[in-house]
Amino acid sequence: MSFALMFVDVQRNMLEGEFPVPEADAVRPVLSGLLSRARAAGAPVVHVLNDGSDIDPDRPHTPGWQPVFAAEPGEPVFRKTEPNAFSVPGLAASLNGFGVRTLVVAGFQSEFCIAATSRAALEEGYDVVLAAGAHATYPGSLSAPETAATVERELQADGIKVSPAQDLVFR
């Protein structure tokens, strides 16, 4: 299998509850469509969950920590405490076990975990595709959409491909 989908921090606190990302209503169906296409193609799907601290809305085993889309049998779930998902032991070995060469990355937050994980995947030797429209964040010095667009430009400059999520084909 050449292509895999990695969902990073696609957890309820990001799309539901008291403080969802501003683009939650737009991003959720894009994530759902991406996941459906990956599964229909038989591509590996890897879920990475953030284990927040005791004061975070994504602290383990709370409603905000729960994944938005449940893993199906055979879809590995990894838990992380750092922005870079590749800091989790066994993640790269799992991808390699599936024969992954190209990793499609989607999830939250664009400038933190998505950027760190995408860069780390590139360093690990994967071809990396950031699914545009399937990642988001909160506003900071820029609006949330401006931050996401800035991250896309920076990752492209680093050698990561950015493609609209709806155009991605898993093979």
Average predicted confidence (pLDDT) for the chain: 97
How large is the average pLDDT for residues 128-135? 99
* pLDDT above 70 for 1: no
> Residue 71 CB: number of other CB atoms within 10 A?
14
Under the banding of pLDDT at 50, 70 and 90, the label for residue 42 is: very high
How far is it, in rounded angstroms, from Cα 154 to Cα 108? 16
How large is the average pLDDT for residues 7-16? 98
**Domain assignment of residue 116, given as a range:** 3-167
Going by C-alpha positions, the residue among 124, 118, 115 that lies closest to residue 90 is: 124
List active site positions: 113
Question: What's the CATH code of the domain at 56?
Answer: 3.40.50.850
Note the pLDDT tens digit of each residue in 62-83.
999 999 999 999 999 999 999 9
For residue 161, the surrounding DSSP H or E stretch is strand 161-164
Number of domains in the chain: 1
* Count of residues in the chain: 171
Q: Strand order in 45-50's β-sheet?
A: 77-80, 45-50, 3-8, 102-108, 127-136, 161-164
